[in-house]
Amino acid sequence: MSELKEFLLPDIGADAADITDILVSVGDTIAVEQDILTIEGDKASMDVPSSVAGVVKEIKVKVGDSVSEGNLVLTVEVAGEAAAEAPVADAPAAPVAEAAPVADAPAATAQLKEISVPDIGGDEVEVTEVLVSVGDSIAEEQDILTVEGDKASMDVPAPFAGVVKEIKVAAGDKVSEGSLILVVEVQGAAAPVAAAPVAAAPVAPTAAVEAPKTAPAAQLSPSQVSVAGSIKASPSVRRTAREFNLDLAVIPATGIKGRTTKEDVQTYVKAQLLLAKSGGGGGGGGLQVLASPKVDFAKFGEVEVKPLSRIQKISGPSLHRNWVTIPHVTQFDEVDITELEAFRKEQNAIAVKRDLGLKISPLVFMMKAVAKALQQYPDFNSSLSADGESLILKKYINIGIAVDTPNGLVVPVVKDVINKGIYDISRELGEISKKARAGKLTTRDMQGGSMTISSLGGIGGTQFTPIVNAPEVAILGVSKSAMKPLWNGKEFEPRLMVPLALSYDHRVIDGAEGARFITAINNYLSDLRTLIL
């Protein structure tokens, strides 16, 4: 037998909080410790896990409700213990011939659910890409649609798993909140089987099983919509951002699971006000930059208007902000990697013989050298606080790698480089680069960097000045290696040299420390033995 249990909101460490996201639907089977609710208080956002397992029968709250400890959240049907068997002596034996036939257990029933456009922070947006096809099996949180509004692109994820039966939109369509996107077939729970009576008795006529009705449209909450595949925020935070005409893509998120909180928006606004007072910022603010002239280029000849890609629209303002607000210094150097290159080729030959399925690139050694230098000079592994009054020193060492993709430049992060070997880093770098070029990077893949490496060695060029990837304080640019004559004290000999360019935030790093840092990288790369010291 089954019974209904009520799930009450546990102690959340605050008097009250707002519900920003409901993570389950009626009919869902949930497990103990599965997140069922996201709430946001004065100081933080948190996910509330379930203390019971079963099937959700009723949801007693909705997004936007204010709740506190003890409020009823869900009614859950849980499986009870099997009824105890009656003593054999007390139960009259029934002739086998009179026993009612046992019907086959009915299979799990499928039902249709609709997915509609959630609150996307604007009146109307354009569908730029439909990411699934009829017949596709989709997973929960899988991106199904890309839409583009006035300020940003958004990837809309599926709120549940199933099979796509109908697609109700096409690229170029205009949609708004509530517009129907997909009809999805989801697998329902099997209908319960009534136990057949053992004793001879008249069998009651079986009620006809009602066909499942089409479920109401599933509304995605705003916190499930990923702007440019990376931004999560509650309705109140999005509303605040719109009031200040802010792009959430440029606001550093500190909430749980990469969520942008109200404090993040406030901190960003305060920082911009301080920047304006100090004469920073772009456009016609403190820098007093003239507005770009409006030119009709068509009068000079034939032109073509090509819209910026989604990544360019998001990264452009961030790069501009970094360039005009960070006092850059760039230190140049050349590294002798002759021995390193010989060792790399030797290891690749060994990897082929052992069928390891990997290829070691020079970039892997760069990552290890940078990680070692970050360990030696911790100020490079830091970020300025939002008010500019303190330095946040990071105890982890994660390296961001700028990857060139068909849609623009992205920076996935390889975690814990200092504690990983060359083979492990090579595998992870290959996987994350492939994921980046396929446009499958997640928020987690691009967060938590200590420092970034931008390598153009495979393309060409002798030097360039990379822009610091805030909130990091330094970035290393790597150009194409070349054979050059190097004086060894007796004669010139051909050596393989690679140019390096280290850009850093002069508010945090002074010139002497910058020179020491790039010299340390030089030493590690020119003599690999120093990497293990």
Catalytic residues: 506
Which residue matches tokens 């103990």? 32
Beta-bridge mates of residue 486: 493
Nearest one of 22, 56, 17 to 36, comparing CA atoms = 22
Contacting residues for 233 by C-beta, under 8 A, at least 6 apart: 222, 223, 241, 248, 253, 259, 260, 261
Alpha helices in 337-449 (DSSP H): 338-353, 362-376, 422-437
Strand segments, DSSP code E, in 370-491 are 382-384, 391-393, 399-401, 403-405, 408-410, 413-414, 451-455, 474-478, 482-487
- Cα dihedral 111/146/116/442 (nearest 10): 70
- Buried/exposed code over 378-398 (b: 16+ C-beta within 10 A; e: otherwise): ebbbbbbebeeeeeeebeebb
Long-range contacts of 228-232 (CB under 8 A, 24+ apart): 228/152, 228/153, 228/154, 228/155, 228/310, 228/311, 228/314, 229/143, 229/155, 229/441, 229/442, 229/443, 230/258, 230/442, 230/443, 230/446, 231/260, 231/443, 232/257, 232/258, 232/259, 232/260, 232/443
Based on the number of CB atoms within 10 Å of its own CB, is 502 exposed (0-12), middle (13-18) or buried (19 or more)? buried
Contacting residues for 455 by C-beta, under 8 A, at least 6 apart: 363, 366, 401, 402, 477, 478
Reduce the DSSP state of residue 108 to 3 states and report it.
Answer: coil
Separation between Cα atoms, residue 487 and residue 436, nearest integer Å: 42
Separation between Cα atoms, residue 503 and residue 509, nearest integer Å: 10
